[in-house]
Amino acid sequence: MSSSSTSQFGQNQWLVDEMYQRFQDDPSSVDASWHEFLKEYSPESPDAGTGNAPASSAAGLNGSSAPASGNGASTSSANGQKAASSNGSSAAAPTPPAPKKPASSANETKVTSAPAASKPAAAKSAAAKPVTKPSTATETKSGSDAATPESKVLRGAAAAVAKNMNASLEIPTATSVRAIPAKLMADNRVVINNHLARTRGGKISFTHLLGYAIVQAVKVFPNMNRHYAEIDGKPNVVTPAHTNLGLAIDLAGKDGNRSLVVAAIKNTDTQNFTQFYAAYEDIVRRAREGKLGAEDFSGVTISLTNPGGIGTVHSVPRLMKGQGAIIGAGAMEYPAEFQGSSDEKIAEMGVGKLMTLTSTYDHRIIQGAESGDFLRTIHNLLISDEFYDEIFHSLSIPYEPVRWRKDIPEGVIDKNTRVLELIAAYRNRGHLMADTDPLQFVKDKFKSHPDLDVISHDLTLWDLDREFKVGGFHGRDKMKLRDVLSVLRDAYCRHIGVEYTHILEPEQQQWIQERVESHHIKPTVAQQKYILSKLNAAEAFETFLQTKYVGQKRFSLEGAESVIPMMDSVIDQAAEHELDEVVIAMPHRGRLNVLANIVGKPYAKIFTEFEGNMNPAAAHGSGDVKYHLGASGKYFQMFGDNEIEVSLTANPSHLEAVDPVLEGLVRAKQDLLDKGDGGFTVLPLMLHGDAAFAGQGVVAETLNLALLRGYRTGGTVH
């Protein structure tokens, strides 16, 4: 890449020239990746893009150019002093013909001619008389009859813009325009961003979706990615190897002025949506930080500009050399005749917002029908099922996207009944849609069920903002379908599946339903940090044991560390309600971690058991292995003032054999406290292995004792 050639930067030429000037003054002010390039760089003349350069005038000793005065008086230099000749005398310049417009010097020095001798005298005489009316706007300080226009040489960004616009006039362009419905794009963007907010973070914009649709449409119409060039004096069509999408990025300068750069996302035709999104965000971030390199400015094959972000509805951008087309996206607005309607009326009529797309293309190599078909392809992509399926799979979103379907008139079906049926379906089968696959083993299949699809209930995206009767659901008589789905999915379809409608007692169903469908409050920052500290403690304990005591049997908790903050939360609530004790029973897996981080057994005792050292003062040991042992301790609330006794029951046998032992211990403790029939102030907390819970008969036998008068304990947390 030749450093003397500036055509490669196109509309970004001004930025390169600006960096060159800063590099000359202070090399450290420019990113190090540019240093080698700028050492050999030769900027073009600042007047190259502004048409005819102004004629040079005589220069004073300070190097500034100044036109001669019209009355033979000496000219004023940039610092306001008279320009002197080399021997110190004043230099009188010959009187040239009066120019039609003043010429500016190379350093933008303003020059004013001295007024005629009679003019100051007249002004002085006039000043002696009382002023009867204010001076008009056309009067100047020197008393001239008309204001003198000011001219200024364009430099930097302004000069580069002028040059690029002049160059763009050589391209014969035409423009195709198409209005595209934006409702599906907006609704699916809400689903995507809600999922990202709950998981890894980030935010998808409309430009991300539109840019990716343009890239996919170019695969169908590769001619839109070509450009015209003259090679050896002959016209040629150049077909790039890849699609490099140019993004027009608005940057705010330190002086408050705004400028535009066009940076390229390279090889977009080889990227899935996640890769495209990452490359897009990287380009924008580096542009904001001023860290774009020379390669980022070159190689654009097709551009996207989005003036709709500032409310522009329709735009016909200029096409630069080296590109075959530029796509402009307008603002998303309702049709003009509906912009005065209320939100309720718009939802009732099924009116959605439109986005105007323009395709400005080089008419030498692209024809109008081809450009129109290109926009139609983008239109079809932005309302197609397959386009959003690909995006959702790429982002690992387990739920189906919103689908584009025609609205169904209200008179054909009773939609209020259909919404109630949908609510019942989520309560019965919502767990089938729960996101319980954290490793994403299945990447090409959505979590769904026909009964959970709004389309199966004859509801469409046009119903999302309409209100329906919900019969007291979530404490409301009427709700928008969008809000109904939000509550149902938050309750039944996140990372925990809830299935309870098989329970025969209506009171129990209602009790669970009210708590599952309630609004969940996000923990405070302090609570989140506390949860993280418990997770870190569980992880650090297991990491230390596997590093220090390699090969020793310990029944690790690895992969299930979240059980520690969960148990901590249960015990915290028991302390909050001022219970007397929590008694825990569990199998071997994770027992050492629970002993250390829940019961509070000292690390030294646990490590001593691994070392095999016996206390000489003890007459004899327990005779049992470390992961069979129990312990007791005291739990203190982190965000409260209460405390509670905590004990872990010894489990010398395997798996679920300890279940009836726990219930017997708890009932005995409650009998000793003797607080009456309702005095169940000792809480049993029982952990199970998933297969053992379903397969061992002792579990069912223990559950059958739950309501017998002589065995009941007031309930167990499993």
Count each helix (H run) and each strand (E run) in the chain, helices first: 21, 14
Catalytic residue list: 363
Structure tokens at 103: 């010429």
Q: What is the spatial distance between Cα 552 and Cα 550, in angstroms, rounded to a whole number?
A: 6
Which run of H or E residues covers position 683?
strand 682-686
Collapsed DSSP state (helix, strand, coil) of residue 335: coil
Structure tokens at 706: 């739950």
Q: Is 158 exposed, middle or buried (0-12, 13-18, 19+ CB in 10 A)?
A: middle
Q: What are phi and psi of 325, to 5 degrees?
A: -160, 155
Angle formed at CA 262 by CA 256 and CA 263, multiple of 5 degrees: 115
CA separation (Å) from 339 to 81, 188, 335, 348, 352? 63, 23, 6, 14, 11
Which are the contacts of 23, defined by CB distance < 8 A and separation ≥ 6? 29, 30, 34, 35, 38
Q: What is the spatial distance between Cα 706 and Cα 663, in angstroms, rounded to a whole number?
A: 9
Q: Is 592 exposed, middle or buried (0-12, 13-18, 19+ CB in 10 A)?
A: buried
Helical ranges in 395-524 per DSSP H: 415-429, 481-492, 506-516
Q: What is the spatial distance between Cα 576 and Cα 285, in angstroms, rounded to a whole number?
A: 47
Angle formed at CA 283 by CA 277 and CA 288, multiple of 5 degrees: 125
